[in-house]
């Protein structure tokens, strides 16, 4: 029999570090609340949803909150409650996700796409003025030669950086427009017009309705979910009724011990309510919201410090009069200083274990808006070339220092190794 080997076992090679684009932060309190919900026997919209609504309204300083199954549902119900109809137009940034414009189409109305600011990527209000004039004169391609009644606007707080609310409000008042905020990225976020002014939270009366997202990668999550907040009781009542088939009583009212079995159909509504299972996650996520925002901010500021000297990158701007939600950390590649394009840059990032994304291909470059409404790249001189330079880096609470360091090292290496 051979003598046993005295050689030490060779430890396995460490797995290469891989950083996801996002990883949700779910605590034991959320898990316990979901279990309690499951054991309670009440799974759909009920007492936990009511609790989540009340707590969220208090968190943003709004009088009313309506919990829904997505921010898309919130946007749709907001525009429906405001009376959006066929033949009307709504200002929508071209630099946004599909939902912002598609809900305008749900109502048979026309999204009027607006270019973006080159630094913040938020809606360019000067271009919005131009688009209003074109729409009302019948010269807007999207209207097919017909004059459009421009009735509202849906600004988006891109990446969690709020727009100048006073400028938005001034534009709306000049043209008699309602405002619905797509605040999917902007919780918790705030702004103030001057150092002497108090902070105003996103949703604190900043528009007719503010719509938030609780998708898996947002600051707080319910898996899927959203919230519409408003100070207008009539709008809140309409959105709540329309979120449950347009019925006169919600399920909690009909099936709880003291509720009535009877109901009436008031309108042809939708099935947009949030479940108690989802709200059970949300109530505890909400308790940690500011802590998670601060953690995101610390990672973002580290990126700003550690990547700020690279001539090949432009980094996000951070105005002093904003509390940034830091949903995203988008960088702009200076392609003239690189020997590779954005797509190659992303391919190399992913090959090195760095998850990333692009926010966004502008709406006017998608076939639906290009072919149906006649939008062209020339009508958006900022957004059209800008999107080809965009890359969003990983940013999430719970991101480890080694993960952030890996992202920074790979980005720096790619910039240095691929200089033009």
Give Dmax (Cα) for the chain. 97
Gap between the Cα atoms of 155 and 152, Å rounded: 10
Q: Which residue(s) pair with 133 in the sheet?
A: none
Strands 88-93 and 149-153: parallel
Measured CA to CA, the distance from residue 24 to residue 221 in angstroms comes to 8
According to DSSP, the β-strands at 329-333 and 313-314 are antiparallel
Residues 211 and 179 sit within 8 Å (Cβ to Cβ): no
Residue 248: burial class (beta carbons within 10 Å; 0-12, 13-18, 19+): middle
Strand ranges inside 154-208, DSSP E: 178-182, 190-191, 200-201
Distance, CA of 386 to CA of 148 (rounded, Å): 29
Distance of CA 15 to the CA centre of its chain: 34
Residues in the chain: 420
Which candidate in 173, 218, 337, 348 is catalytic? 218
Three-class SS of residue 332? strand
Instruction: Kindly list the distances between the CA atom of residue 233 and the CA atoms of 183, 230, 381, in Å, as whole numbers in the listed order.
Output: 20, 8, 41
337 labelled catalytic: no
- DSSP, collapsed to helix, strand or coil, labels residue 419 as strand
Residue 289 contacts residue 219 (beta carbons within 8 Å):
yes
User: CA–CA separation, 350 vs 21, rounded Å?
Assistant: 10
Q: What stretch of H or E contains 239?
A: helix 233-242
Confirm if 218 and 185 have CB atoms less than 8 A apart: yes
Helices (H), 274-394: 276-287, 289-307, 342-351, 367-373, 383-386
Catalytic positions, please? Answer: 218
């Amino acid at each position: 029999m051979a003598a046993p080997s005295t050689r030490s076992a060779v430890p396995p090679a460490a797995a290469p570090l891989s950083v996801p684009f996002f990883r949700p932060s779910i605590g034991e309190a959320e898990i316990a609340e979901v279990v309690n919900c499951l054991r309670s026997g009440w799974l759909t919209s009920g007492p936990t949803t009511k609790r989540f609504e009340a707590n969220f309204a208090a968190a943003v300083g709004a009088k009313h909150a309506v919990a829904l199954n997505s921010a898309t549902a919130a946007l749709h119900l907001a525009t429906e409650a405001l009376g959006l109809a066929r033949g009307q137009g709504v200002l929508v940034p071209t630099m946004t996700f599909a939902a912002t414009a598609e809900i305008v189409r749900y109502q048979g109305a026309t999204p009027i796409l607006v270019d973006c600011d080159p630094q913040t990527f938020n809606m360019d209000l000067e271009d919005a003025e131009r688009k209003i004039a074109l729409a009302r004169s019948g010269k807007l391609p999207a209207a097919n030669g017909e004059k459009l009644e421009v009735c509202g606007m849906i600004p988006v707080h891109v990446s969690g950086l709020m727009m100048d609310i006073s400028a938005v409000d001034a534009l709306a008042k000049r043209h008699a427009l309602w405002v619905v905020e797509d605040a999917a990225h902007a919780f918790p976020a705030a702004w103030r017009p001057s150092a002497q002014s108090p902070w105003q939270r996103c949703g604190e009366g900043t528009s007719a309705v503010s719509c938030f997202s609780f998708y898996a990668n947002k600051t707080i999550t319910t898996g899927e979910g959203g919230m519409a907040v408003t100070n207008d009781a009539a709008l809140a009542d309409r959105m709540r009724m329309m979120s449950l088939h347009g019925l006169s009583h919600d399920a909690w009212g009909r099936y709880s011990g003291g509720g009535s079995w009877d109901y009436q159909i008031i309108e042809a509504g939708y099935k947009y309510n949030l479940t108690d299972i989802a709200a059970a996650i949300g109530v505890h996520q909400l308790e940690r919201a500011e802590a998670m925002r601060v953690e995101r901010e610390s990672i973002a500021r580290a990126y700003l410090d550690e990547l700020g000297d690279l001539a090949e990158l432009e980094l996000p701007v951070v105005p002093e009069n904003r509390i940034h939600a830091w949903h995203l950390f988008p960088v702009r590649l200076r392609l003239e200083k690189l020997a590779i394009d954005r797509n190659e840059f992303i391919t190399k990032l992913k090959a090195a274990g760095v998850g990333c994304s692009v926010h966004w291909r502008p709406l006017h470059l998608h076939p639906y808006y290009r072919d149906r409404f006649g939008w062209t790249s020339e009508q958006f001189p900022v957004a059209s070339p800008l999107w080809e330079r965009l890359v969003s880096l990983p940013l999430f609470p719970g991101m480890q220092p080694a993960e952030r360091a890996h992202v920074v090292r790979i980005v720096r290496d790619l910039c240095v190794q691929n200089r033009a």
